[in-house]
Amino acid sequence: MSKTTVILIRHGETLWNKEKRYQGQQDSPLSPKGIKQAEVVGKFLQSRIIDAVYSSDLKRALLTSEHIAKGHQLTPIVDQRLREISFGVWEGKTREQVKKEHPDEWEARSRNVLNTRVSGGELPGEVLERFHSFLAARLADARGQTIVVVSHGGALRLLIASLLHIPLERAHLIHQSNTGISEFVHFEQGERSWWETVCINSTGHLGSYFL
């Protein structure tokens, strides 16, 4: 039986996180607090044996991943499949702005999040398709290893829901804090494979000041 440990981490806080704006695939820089969160999670994981660090190509994730990778003399491997869900025309706007400017889309998505596409955006199932494509490729190469994956809140909620067989329309209930750690172990035995959960959104390394 082989096992692979996958450590999922959301990027540090950004300026748009503070302003509660939809970020999607737009780049908002890490806030001073977010930079410190990235430093803290990097130091926390320094004691772990980590074989590879993968990151979304969006700058907020990449900068966070660099703080983790340097403690292991690694360079983050960038993969666009780890990007946040695209929110199309909503990106850069607050919820109140979206409700005012796109009321029909807002209402439709509130009723059916899985099948309502924001103009120019992605459906949750499309995000999962690319994320699982990434995982399938990496798990084939990383048997017996520990890898870190730095991604985004929405994408990680969907992924975790899928791994735990939680209905995707309930994925929003899986909170992902900035630089929160979720750890899973993937087992393979013959033709069987399964996931076990170690922790979800662990933030003890941050302390109350950085939450």
Domains of the chain in start order, with CATH, are 2-88+123-210 (3.40.50.1240)
Q: For residue 84, indicate whether it is catalytic.
A: yes
- Report how far apart, in Å, the C-alpha atoms of 13 and of each of 32, 61, 70, 124 are: 8, 10, 20, 23
- Report how far apart, in Å, the C-alpha atoms of 177 and of each of 56, 90, 111, 200, 204 are: 17, 22, 25, 10, 11
**Residues 20-61: pLDDT tens digits?**
999 999 988 999 999 999 999 999 999 999 999 999 999 999
**Residues 66-110: pLDDT tens digits?**
999 999 999 999 999 999 999 999 999 999 999 999 999 999 999
- Where b means 16+ CB within 10 Å and e means fewer, 143-161 reads eebbbbbbbbbbbbbbbbb
Q: Which amino acid is it at 187?
A: F
pTM: 0.95
Residue with tokens 């503070």: 18
Distance of CA 26 to the CA centre of its chain: 15
Q: Which of 84, 105, 122, 183 is catalytic?
A: 84
Nearest to 16 by CA among 1, 8, 26: 26
Q: DSSP per residue over 71-97, as a string?
A: GGT--PEE-GGGPPPP-GGGTT-BHHH
Q: Which of 11, 67, 152, 186 is catalytic?
A: 11
Q: For residue 66, indicate whether it is catalytic.
A: no
